[in-house]
Structure 1
Amino acid sequence: MATNKNIASYIEQVKSTLDNLSSESIDAMIEAFAKAYEAGGNIYTMGNGGSGASASHAAGDFLKGASYGLDRRFKMICLNDNLPSMMAIANDIGWEDIFVEPLKNFIGKDDLVIGISGSGNSANVVKALTYAKDNGVATIAMTGFKGGKIGQIADLHVHAPVMDMEVTEDIHMVIFNIVKKAMMERYLGDNPSMGSTYDSRVQ
């Protein structure tokens, strides 16, 4: 019985968090993606742990699913995917610099930098978003809990209003999938990606 209660409680928490999301902030995130894409800019994602997994998942979705069939493709880079560079930077400089150092190599004025942190206080994400903001590059913070530091730093704060890390991670992927679907509809129209074609075959 305890397990069943846990299941119901978790599902209810996800539902209530979805119900309380700001549709305006998601709309703004969609437009930020479109602006970077149309300007030919790069979109960077980053995070630690589960947030890093979400950052990597989203980048993969846009490199393939949202790009297949487009002449101009999304240029989305996950900063926590290059393990050797992260380890070298962490070892030689410091953990707080693992995201800001690659940004210094690549960042351009038309780019978009997305920092993902449940608490909003991950020091390496804070430092990277601060650098991007100081250099006039568009920034998005994706957070949970109370939003933390990056929620105050970024141009756009996309907040999962829940005091739970696992639910926060679930909500962040829902938001990324909404943005991906919006981009596919806007730029692919009746020409669906290979991902959508594959899904229809196997159902």
Structure 2
Amino acid sequence: MNYTEEITNYYARLEKTIESLDKEALNQVMNLLQDAYKKESRIYVCGNGGSASTASHLMNDFNKGLSYDQEKKWHVVSLNDNVATLMAISNDDSYDKVFSKQLEGNITKDDILLAISGSGNSKNIIEAVKEAQKVGAKVVGMTGYDGGKLYQMSDFNMHVPINDMQITEDIHLTFNHMMMSVFYKKVANEK
């Protein structure tokens, strides 16, 4: 089999989508996150499936990659990473509440919820957004497709305008790496 045409087409679509991103919206999110860093606020992050791994990856890159050997640390919490808690909430309440129940009583108005959903319609993500909104925390939606409910409910958006989950998730991961790279150069050692 020769897959070169399909490979070329995939990367062409990826490149075209990257070119169409709203860079000013990304800049606004980065300023919001930098402000949270300065205030030592928490940034809660969550997602399902591939987006769960993006949430974990982002937490790792910010808490280790950007914080390692730095006097001032980032405070990123992935709501995906305690399996026992996820299973207990799923079992005792419902999967729709796995993130909102973790935020309840913990998230404050000075914190940020970075919610990741390719479709923008994941029920547990929407419930988490509602919980964050109860206390006045800012919500950043990381979405694809038309953005769904999450796009509409978010204060800030990191949107990938394509109806393709794989390219959406590819670009979501590049958001993480782009932010880490820029913050490492611009924010590390900032007093």
TM interval, short-chain normalised: over 0.9
User: Which residue is equivalent to 1:169?
Assistant: 169
For residues 174-196 of structure 1, the C-alpha deviation after alignment (integer angstroms, 9 at most, x for no partner) is 11111112221222269xxxxxx
User: Which residue is equivalent to 1:187?
Assistant: 187
- Hey, what's the Cα distance between the residues in 1 that align with 2:48 and 2:170? 15
- The answer to whether the 8 Å contact 2:70/2:189 transfers is no
The SS at the match of 1:44 is: strand
- The answer to whether the 8 Å contact 1:17/1:162 transfers is yes
For residues 98-156 of structure 1, the C-alpha deviation after alignment (integer angstroms, 9 at most, x for no partner) is 00011114212211100000000000001101211232001100000110000000101
- 1:86 CA drift (Å): 0.4
User: Which residue is equivalent to 1:193?
Assistant: none
TM-score (norm 2): 0.95
- The answer to whether the 8 Å contact 1:100/1:131 transfers is yes
The SS at the match of 1:146 is: coil
User: Which residue is equivalent to 1:60?
Assistant: 60
- The answer to whether the 8 Å contact 1:29/1:179 transfers is no
For residues 36-85 of structure 1, the C-alpha deviation after alignment (integer angstroms, 9 at most, x for no partner) is 11111111110000000001001000011111132120010110111110
Residue segments in structure 2 that go unaligned for 5+ positions in a row: none
- Hey, what's the Cα distance between the residues in 2 that align with 1:74 and 1:175? 17
- 1:2 CA drift (Å): 5.2
- Hey, what's the Cα distance between the residues in 2 that align with 1:126 and 1:173? 21
The answer on 1:153 being equivalent to 2:153 is yes
Counting only pairs closer than 5 Å after superposition, residues 12-51 of structure 1 correspond to structure 2 as 12-51=12-51
Residue segments in structure 1 that go unaligned for 5+ positions in a row: 191-203
- Hey, what's the Cα distance between the residues in 2 that align with 1:158 and 1:188? 23
User: Which residue is equivalent to 1:95?
Assistant: 95
Quick one: percent identity of the two aligned structures?
35
Partner amino acid, structure 1, of 2:178:
I
TM-score (norm 1): 0.90
Partner amino acid, structure 2, of 1:104:
E
Partner amino acid, structure 2, of 1:56:
S
The SS at the match of 1:64 is: helix
Q: Supply the RMSD in Å over aligned alpha carbons.
A: 1.4
- Hey, what's the Cα distance between the residues in 2 that align with 1:94 and 1:102? 13
- The answer to whether the 8 Å contact 1:30/1:182 transfers is no
Q: How many residues were matched structurally?
A: 190
The SS at the match of 2:3 is: helix
